Amino acid sequence: MSARLLLIEDDSSIARFVALALEELDVDLVTAGTLAEAREQLAQQRFAAVITDLMLPDGSSIELMEAGHARQGAPWIAFSAGLTPERLAALHELGVRQTLRKPVSLTALMDAVSSALQSSPTPAPVADPPPPARRTAAIDEHFAGDAAMFEAFLGGCLTRFADDLQRGHAALASADLATLRHVSHGLKAVLSLIGEPALAQHARDLEDACAANEPAEAARHWPPLAQGLEALRRQGR
């Protein structure tokens, strides 16, 4: 019988990467894109393990941990691009077994899930090295050398970028920094995964500007990011 895993992740590109990464494992992956959906899934069924992002559209998965869900048997794996030493300590205090730094590699993700399914009592935190500079290195680093998997993931990302661009342009025009921050948060990990560190840095700078409520800075960082996304889409056609 397949082990049932819950993935709490609102970014469809990251969710697809996780699904592709775990195809070789005997798991049944259930996805929740919001805090509300995650609460519903946790109330309805039991899971062998939970993989969660921290930042969600309607809150933070830390609320689930504070409610005690990470201490109720199933090991929790948290991944995020902003894992400071203080945040790591807080997560482990709340019961999180393992942490992964976005962009997470295929190997690190599979190792973390395998370890969680084996119910290791003291799994070590997993952290990825900085993202590589070129796409070929990204295939080796994040996709275990599987070029076909990389191309499948990239194709989905290029399609998704059209929606990201539309949402980003609209958010900037209406000074909706919350939406712009959400768009940039998802893009920074995805762009690193596909070997675009310069664009990932633009996304990171944009997210920081939105978090600091600096519309002028946000307006400065969005154009080069948007231009880069458009260029990637043209190259992929």
pLDDT class of 134 with cuts at 50, 70, 90: low
CB 186 within 8 A of CB 11: yes
Q: Rounded distance, CA 125 to CA 107, Å?
A: 14
Other beta carbons less than 10 A from residue 161's beta carbon: 22
> If residue 28 lies in a helix (H) or strand (E), which one and from where to where?
strand 27-32
Q: pLDDT tens-digit profile of 82-108?
A: 778 888 888 988 889 899 988 888 888
Tell whether the model's pLDDT for residue 122 goes beyond 50. Answer: no
Q: Which CATH architecture has domain 135-236?
A: Up-down Bundle (1.20)
Residues 136 and 11: their CA atoms lie apart, in Å, by: 24
| Band of residue 151 on the pLDDT scale cut at 50, 70, 90 | confident
179 within 8 A of 165, measured Cβ to Cβ: no
**Claim: this prediction has a pTM higher than 0.85:** no
| pLDDT band for position 131 (cuts 50, 70, 90) | very low
Distance CA 6, CA 46 (A): 9
CA distance 100 to 28: 21
Alpha helix positions (H), 1-105: 12-21, 35-44, 62-66, 85-93
- pLDDT for residue 237: 52
CA angle 146, 50, 39 (to 5 degrees): 130
pLDDT of 121 strictly over 60: no
Domain ranges of the chain: 3-117, 135-236
Peptide bond into 103 cis (omega under 30): yes
What pLDDT is stored for residue 81 in this prediction?
A: 81
State the helix-helix crossing angle for 215-236 and 197-211, rounded to 10 degrees: 150
* C-alpha–C-alpha distance, residues 168 and 18, integer Å: 25
Residue 232: CB atoms within 10 A of its CB come to 17
Burial readout 71-96 (b: 16 or more C-beta within 10 A, e: otherwise): eeebbbbbbbbebeeeebeebeebeb
Question: How far apart are the two ends of the chain, measured CA to CA in Å?
Answer: 41
Domains 3-117 and 135-236 share a fold: no
Structure tokens of 105? 């590699």
Q: What is the CATH number of domain 3-117?
A: 3.40.50.2300
